[in-house]
A = this chain, B = another copy of it.
Amino acid sequence: MPDGANKKTSRIQQRNRHLILDAALDVFSAHGYRGATLDQIAEAAGLSKPNILYYFSGKEEIHVTLLNRLMETWLDPLVEMDETGDPMTELMGYVHRKLDMARDLPRESRLFAGEILQGAPRMHPHLVADLKPLFDQKCAVIQGWVDAGKLAPVDPRHLIFSIWSTTQHYADFDVQVQVLSDNDPMEGARRYLDRLFRQVLSP
């Protein structure tokens, strides 16, 4: 019984759990929670449906597991923003890290976006318990930089919202971006966003 974590997980357990979660990330991010089926996940993982349910108690547990793991990764770039560093450098570093994530982890971005879009039915507690404290703390840091005259007087909350939205846009709205772009948009995005935020933050 792999559900109980009393025994150390075997090699095969680790492998199959990873297979399932990776397949589920594909399917959930492409079709949303309701749109995804266990059969799709099973096929993508190369396992049978009952075998999937041997490792996870149900569809919801797979989804929740993905969401929980995602939260860490997602908050990490913001955590890295250092209060003692140079304000402009720290914030521009954050922008670039977020853009890198949109490029390298589009499935995760879309999974998150889908969950929020539908009212965060499974992640609302996480938002309140994990995201909000970190968000408030970092907003205070930015406000401190503003008050010290090291940044232009911008509202930290909306600044962060705009960093999130502009960067994640390239992952979440990828189809649209592709239709409207002639060549690879990421290099242009990097240049444009660098300029956008540098301008608004310059004191």
Contacts and interface: CB of A to CB of B under 8 A. Distances in A.
Give the dominant DSSP class at A's interface. Answer: helix
Interface in A32-77: 32-35
Q: What's the number of copies of this chain in the assembled complex?
A: 2
B200 A196 contact: yes
**Chain B CB within 10 Å — which of A110, A118, A164 has the most?**
A118
A120 interface: yes
Interface in A131-167: 131-132, 135-136, 154-155, 157-159, 161-162, 164-166
A125 to B, nearest CB: 10
A105 to B, nearest CB: 15
Contacts of A118: 30-32, 35
Interface string A150-193: 00001101110110111011101101110111000100110111
A113 interface: yes
19 contacts: A32-B34, A32-B114, A110-B117, A116-B176, A117-B173, A124-B179, A127-B176, A128-B179, A132-B180, A155-B188, A157-B185, A158-B188, A161-B166, A161-B169, A161-B170, A161-B189, A162-B169, A165-B169, A196-B196
